[in-house]
């Protein structure tokens, strides 16, 4: 794993966009896995700006979203399909037939999950999977206790996640209590994984993700099993990492680039 720590969440987001732009420039047909939540919003904002400046395009890329709430349709403001349109897709040129989000209204969620896995395979697999991190260690909606070999499936959300996400919902349109999510094994099948973690509230989760033994009680720790993970964190999220301490000089694995500049870079 490769850890890069930045002074602010905006700089961390800029670093992720730099990686996305590099990918999309090198391979315009890149297959991206994309997350939702508050963490990636600055990434999408900066990516739209990069696309406006013609630094890259999403026109030929294929996108697979990590997850979708179950029981809500794409026009429901609670859905992640709606989130993705508002955050990214409405603002850029893309081919809608290359955007994939699990169908939250599927009558048969098992069949929908199999269809989603088959679509990922048919696209040649995910080149770059961008992830956020839940305070309870979830990646996608793989809650604590998720099997390491799990694939896309319907899952129940934990009370912890429901209360963390309650801020996104109004009382008259409460949060769905289940979701269709890529599984841990689906995520680990991506060729590269970029984990973006910002804010002090994620510090303990990030510490356990990187420094504790792999345990499915902390699903994100499964990322230790992947051979190409870049962890991009701000100083708040990195504040409990012992591995960040010796890295301020930015030695191991550091890369030359102009902007943004990491406070610390380290291979784990």
Q: Which of 67, 112, 117, 234 is catalytic?
A: 67
What's the CA angle centered on 242, arms 240 and 246, to 5 degrees?
Answer: 125
Closest distance of CB 27 from ligand PGA, Å:
26
C-beta closer to ligand PGA: residue 118 or 173: 173
State yes or no: residue 264 binds ligand PGA (CB under 6 A). Answer: no
Q: Which of 18, 68, 143, 234 is catalytic?
A: 143
The alpha carbon of 185 is separated from its chain's Cα centroid by a whole number of angstroms, namely: 15
Catalytic, 226? Answer: no
12-41: contacts with ligand PGA (CB under 6 A) = 37-39
What is the helix (H) or strand (E) element at residue 138, kind and residue range? none
Long-range contacts of 86-89 (CB under 8 A, 24+ apart): 87/36, 87/40, 87/41, 87/44, 87/45, 88/34, 88/44, 88/47, 88/48
C-beta closer to ligand PGA: residue 56 or 207: 207
Closest distance of CB 36 from ligand PGA, Å:
8
Say how far apart CA 88 and CA 81 lie, in whole Å. 10
What is the helix (H) or strand (E) element at residue 33, kind and residue range? strand 31-34
C-beta closer to ligand PGA: residue 114 or 239: 239
Say how far apart CA 22 and CA 9 lie, in whole Å. 20
Say how far apart CA 140 and CA 148 lie, in whole Å. 13
Q: Which of 117, 136, 142, 234 is catalytic?
A: 136
- Evaluate whether 179 touches 157 at the Cβ level (below 8 Å): yes
134-153: contacts with ligand PGA (CB under 6 A) = 134, 138
96-135: contacts with ligand PGA (CB under 6 A) = 132-134
C-beta closer to ligand PGA: residue 12 or 56: 12
Catalytic, 67? Answer: yes
Q: Which of 4, 117, 138, 142 is catalytic?
A: 138
**Hey, which residues are catalytic here?**
67, 136, 138, 143
Residue numbers of the site for ligand PGA (CB under 6 A)? 37-39, 132-134, 138
């Amino acid at each position: 794993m490769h850890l890069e720590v930045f002074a602010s969440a905006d700089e961390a987001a800029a670093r992720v966009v730099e990686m996305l732009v590099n990918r999309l420039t090198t391979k315009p047909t890149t297959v991206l896995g994309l997350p939702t939540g508050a963490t990636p919003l600055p990434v999408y904002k900066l990516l739209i700006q990069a696309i406006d400046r013609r630094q890259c395009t999403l026109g030929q890329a294929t996108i697979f979203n990590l997850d979708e709430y179950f029981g809500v349709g794409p026009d429901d403001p609670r859905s992640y399909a709606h989130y993705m349109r508002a955050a990214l897709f409405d603002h850029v040129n893309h081919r809608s037939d290359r955007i994939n989000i699990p169908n939250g209204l599927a009558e048969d969620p098992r069949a929908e999950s199999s269809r989603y896995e088959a679509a990922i395979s048919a696209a040649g697999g995910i080149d770059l999977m961008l992830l956020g991190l839940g305070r309870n260690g979830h990646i996608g909606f793989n809650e604590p206790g998720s099997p390491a070999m799990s694939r896309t499936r319907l899952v129940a959300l934990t009370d912890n996640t429901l209360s963390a996400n309650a801020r996104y919902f109004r009382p008259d349109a409460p949060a769905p209590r289940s979701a269709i999510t890529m599984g841990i094994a689906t995520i680990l099948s991506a060729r590269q994984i970029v984990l973006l973690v910002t804010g002090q509230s994620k510090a303990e989760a990030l510490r356990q993700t990187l420094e504790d033994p792999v345990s499915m009680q902390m699903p994100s720790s499964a990322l230790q099993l992947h051979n190409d993970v870049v962890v991009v964190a701000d100083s708040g999220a990195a504040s409990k990492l012992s591995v960040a301490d010796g890295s301020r000089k930015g030695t191991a694995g550091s890369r030359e680039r102009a902007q943004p500049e990491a406070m610390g870079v380290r291979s784990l």
